[in-house]
Structure 1
Amino acid sequence: MKILSIQSAVAYGHAGNSAAVFPMQRIGVEVLPVYTVNFSNHTGYGAWRGPVMDPADVAAVITGVEERGAFGELDAVLSGYQGSEGIADVIIDAVARVKAANPNALYACDPVMGNAKSGCFVAPAIPDLLRDKVVPVADIITPNQFELGFLTGTEPDTIESTLASADLARAMGPRTVLVTSVERPDREEGTIEMMAIDDKGAWIVQTPFLPMKANGSGDVTAALFTSHYVRTGDAADALARTASSVFGLLEQTFAAESKELLLVEAQEHYANPRLEFEVRQVR
C-alpha cells in the first residue's frame, strides 16, 4: 500500500507527518510525505521556529512525485494540518490528479482546526475552507467531535446526535466518517470514545480516558484508521485496531510522564494491537 501524506512536520517531538508517517510505515505502508510547514516543534508549546511552506513549493514537490510516475501506484491521499490558506487548493488539485491516475484511490481528510478545550488554533480562514472546499471532495474524514460540529453546524454530544451530525457530513461528500474524542454525558465515567460511520453501518468503541495533553495523537489516529480502512474496507476492524494502537501509545506515554508521544517506543502497539476494546454496532 502507498499513501501520499500532505501534513505539517516538526523536528522536535511528534505532530503532523512527524507523528503519522512512522506508525503507517510500521504496519507496512509506503508513505510519501509532503510537508505543509517545517517547524521546530508543534505549536502547543506557544513558541516555535521555521517556515510555513509556500503553496507553490508544496505543489512543486507533489508535481515532482507525479513526474516519477507514482500517482498511479497510490492507494490513498491523506491530508492534515494545512498551515496556510492556499494549501487547500493544492490538496484538491493533487487529489484530482491522483484519482485520474488511479480511480480506486481514496482521499482521507483530517480536518484539523481545533478542539473543544482550546477552540480553533489554525488560521481564521481554514475552517471555512475545509468545510466548503476540501471535505466535499474527501472519501474519508476524521474529525474530532468539536470539528464535526463546526463542519455540520451542529452540537453533537449523544450517540444519536453524533450519528446525525456524521450523516450531515456524509451528505457533503465523504462516505466514511471517523469521529474522535467523543464525550457524551451518559458515558461511563473515566472513558472516551470513537465512532466510525460508513454505508455499511456505525460502530463505537470506548477506551479509558487518560488525563494528559497528547499533541499529535489525532494525527496518529487518522493515519492508522485510514491505512486499515483502505486496506480492508472494514470500518469496525479499522476502528478496533486504531483504538487499541492509539490507547497503547497514550498509555505508554502517560506512564513515562513524557511531554511528547513515545512514538518509536510504542511501535509494537501499531504492529500488533491487542484488540482489547469491544467495538459495538450502534446502527
Structure 2
Amino acid sequence: MPHSHPPYVLSIQSHVALGHVGNDAAVFPLQRLGFEVLPVHTVQFSNHTGYGQFRGQVFDAEHIREVLAGLRDRGVLSRVSAVLSGYLGDAGIGAVILEAVDEIRRDNPAVRYLCDPVMGDVGRGVFVNPAIPDFLRNLAIPHATIVTPNQFEFELLTGSRLVSVEDAVRTARQLRGRGPDVVVITSLATPDIPADQLGTLAVNGEGAWLVNTPRLALHPLPNGMGDVFSATLLARLLRGEPLPRALELATATLFGLVKATAEGSRDLPLVVAQEQIVAPLEAYPAVAL
C-alpha cells in the first residue's frame, strides 16, 4: 500500500548550524512524531546567542515571502494542516507569517496556528525588538489557535501579575476571548505552586489542566526548551490527543530531555535522547482544575 501524503506542518523560525533552538529544536520532534515539516528559516546563524558570540545573517520579510511563494507554486501551502512560529526577529516577518496563515485558512479553515510568543523570561527580561510585544498582543494572538507563552510572556501579553493558579486560569480564559482556542502557560511559578516544582497550565473551552514537574537544577538551563515543548504539543494535538493528554506528553518529553542534558550544556540532547520524544519515560499527571 502506498502511503497517502501526510499533512504538512509549516514551521517559520530561526535556524542555527550548531545547537537546538528554533527550527533546529522544532523540526526533529515533529518528524519523530510522524509529520512532514516545511521549515522556513528566519535567520541562519552559526549557533544560538546563548553561546555569546555568533555569526550569520537575519533574513528580511521579503526573503520569507519568496520562500513561501515557492511553496505556493508547488501547491503545498494548501496542504498545510498547522503553522508553527516562535522567536521573531522583527514584526515584518510576523506580518508575513500571518499572511500565510490567512492564505492557508482560505483553503483549509481547520488549519491550526501555534504561536509561541517569544519575548523574554524571568531574570533576562524582554530580549526582543521593542515592536514585537505589541505585534504579538494586537495581531498574532487574535490569529492564533494555540498560544504557549511562559509566565513572564503571559503577564506581558495580558498586563497582569499572576498571584495564584486560579488567577492564571481566569486570565487565560480572558485571553481566549481574544481569539486563541488553547492557552498554555509554561514555567508557571505562582506562590501556590511548591517552590521545588514548575507548573504548565493548559486552558481551552472545555476546562483547565495543570501539570507540575520537579524543578531540575541545571546551570545554565539549555536553550530551546520552549521550542521543543511547542513543537511536541502541536504534534500531539495533530495526532488527535485531547488537550490534557497532549499536555502530559509534551511536558514529559521536555522533562525527560532536560533531565538527560549534561551539566554545562547549552543544548537539549534531542538526537541522543530522542526516545523521550516518542515514548517519554516519566510522566506527571494533568490535574483538572
Scaled by the length of structure 1, the TM-score of the pair is 0.96
CA contact 1:221–1:246 (8 Å) conserved in 2: yes
Which residue pairs with 2:178 in the alignment?
Answer: 172
Describe the shift of the 1:184–1:242 C-alpha distance in structure 2 as closer, same or farther (beyond 3 A). same
Which residue pairs with 1:136 in the alignment?
Answer: 142
Match of 2:279 among 251, 272, 281: 272
CA contact 2:222–2:265 (8 Å) conserved in 1: no
Q: Distance in 1 between matches of 2:51 and 2:167?
A: 34
The alpha-carbon deviation at position 104 of structure 1 amounts to 1.4
Q: SS state of the match for residue 261, structure 2? A: helix
Match of 1:228 among 227, 236, 243: 236
Describe the shift of the 1:233–1:97 C-alpha distance in structure 2 as closer, same or farther (beyond 3 A). farther
Q: Distance in 1 between matches of 2:16 and 2:280?
A: 26
Give structure 1 regions of 4+ aligned residues with deviation exceeding 4 angstroms: none
Which residue pairs with 2:215 in the alignment?
Answer: 209
The alpha-carbon deviation at position 275 of structure 1 amounts to 5.2
The alpha-carbon deviation at position 30 of structure 1 amounts to 0.9
CA contact 1:149–1:165 (8 Å) conserved in 2: no
Which residue pairs with 2:130 in the alignment?
Answer: 124
Match of 1:85 among 85, 91, 115: 91
**What is the percent sequence identity of the aligned residues?**
44
Q: Distance in 2 between matches of 1:188 and 1:151?
A: 25
Which residue pairs with 2:56 in the alignment?
Answer: 50
Q: Distance in 1 between matches of 2:282 and 2:206?
A: 21
Correspondence 1:184 to 2:193: no
The alpha-carbon deviation at position 225 of structure 1 amounts to 0.6
Q: Distance in 1 between matches of 2:49 and 2:164?
A: 31
CA contact 1:9–1:18 (8 Å) conserved in 2: yes
Q: Distance in 1 between matches of 2:222 and 2:267?
A: 7
Match of 2:270 among 244, 260, 263: 263
Which residue pairs with 1:200 in the alignment?
Answer: 206
Q: SS state of the match for residue 11, structure 1? A: strand
Correspondence 1:76 to 2:103: no
Which residue pairs with 1:240 in the alignment?
Answer: 248
CA contact 1:8–1:17 (8 Å) conserved in 2: yes
Task: Report the AA paired with residue 202 of structure 1.
Answer: A
Q: Distance in 2 between matches of 1:44 and 1:221?
A: 18
The alpha-carbon deviation at position 220 of structure 1 amounts to 0.2
The alpha-carbon deviation at position 172 of structure 1 amounts to 1.4
Q: Distance in 2 between matches of 1:92 and 1:177?
A: 18
Which residue pairs with 1:105 in the alignment?
Answer: 111
Q: Distance in 2 between matches of 1:79 and 1:149?
A: 20
Match of 2:32 among 26, 40, 63: 26
Q: Distance in 2 between matches of 1:236 and 1:20?
A: 21
Q: Distance in 1 between matches of 2:266 and 2:280?
A: 23
- Structure 1 residue runs of 5 or longer lacking an equivalent are none
Tell me the C-alpha RMSD between the 2 structures.
1.3
Task: Report the AA paired with residue 6 of structure 1.
Answer: I
Correspondence 1:146 to 2:157: no
Q: Distance in 1 between matches of 2:60 and 2:259?
A: 37
The alpha-carbon deviation at position 107 of structure 1 amounts to 0.8
Superposed CA offset, 1:37-92 (max 9, x none) = 11111122332211111100001101111111112221101111111221111011
CA contact 1:253–1:262 (8 Å) conserved in 2: yes
Q: Distance in 1 between matches of 2:150 and 2:108?
A: 29
Q: Distance in 1 between matches of 2:66 and 2:204?
A: 34
Aligned residues: 281
CA contact 1:39–1:50 (8 Å) conserved in 2: yes
The alpha-carbon deviation at position 117 of structure 1 amounts to 1.6
Q: SS state of the match for residue 75, structure 1? A: strand
- Structure 2 residue runs of 5 or longer lacking an equivalent are 1-6
Q: Distance in 1 between matches of 2:138 and 2:193?
A: 32
The alpha-carbon deviation at position 186 of structure 1 amounts to 2.3
The alpha-carbon deviation at position 233 of structure 1 amounts to 5.4
